[in-house]
């Protein structure tokens, strides 16, 4: 079974631009979560989607948004990029949302560099 895939793997943008990252979950998984990883803040939860609905959101500004499609694929968007948005963006999928003992499987991440 194929794992979680993320595209693109690497991205370079300039301040003020916007970016869209894509995540395809493991087949049959309906929940997709997004995380940001930086050297200073570590791994931080962005948001989670299940059945095209955002179920939970982390403490990030409104410039960070996401959505999920009917086939469970998800995208996240960052508008008006800032230098501090440079990070590894990770997507994780799981079979269900909010279930006890429900493990998440992570993709390889998208490395975003903002110049």
In angstroms, the CA 96 to CA 85 distance is 29
The answer to whether residue 103 forms part of the interface with other proteins (CB under 8 A) is yes
Please report how close the Cβ of residue 38 comes to other proteins at its closest, in angstroms.
12
In angstroms, the CA 75 to CA 59 distance is 18
Q: Are strands 110-114 and 5-7 parallel, antiparallel or unpaired?
A: unpaired
Residues 40-99 that bind other proteins (CB under 8 A): 42-45, 47-50, 55-56, 58, 88, 90, 92, 94, 97-99
Residue among 33, 68, 72, 74 that touches other proteins (CB under 8 A): 33
Residue among 8, 61, 84, 108 that touches other proteins (CB under 8 A): 108
CB-based contacts of 28, cutoff 8 Å, min separation 6: 95
């Amino acid at each position: 079974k194929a794992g979680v895939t993320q595209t693109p793997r690497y991205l370079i943008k300039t301040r003020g631009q916007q970016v869209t990252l894509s995540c395809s979950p493991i087949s049959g998984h309906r929940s997709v979560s997004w995380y940001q990883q930086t050297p200073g803040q570590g791994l931080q939860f962005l948001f989670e989607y299940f059945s095209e609905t955002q179920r939970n959101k982390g403490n990030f500004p409104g410039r960070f948004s996401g959505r999920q499609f009917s086939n469970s694929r998800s995208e996240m968007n960052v508008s008006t990029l800032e230098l501090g948005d440079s990070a590894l963006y990770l997507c994780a999928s799981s079979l269900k949302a909010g279930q006890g003992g429900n493990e998440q499987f992570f993709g390889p991440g998208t490395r975003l560099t903002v110049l």
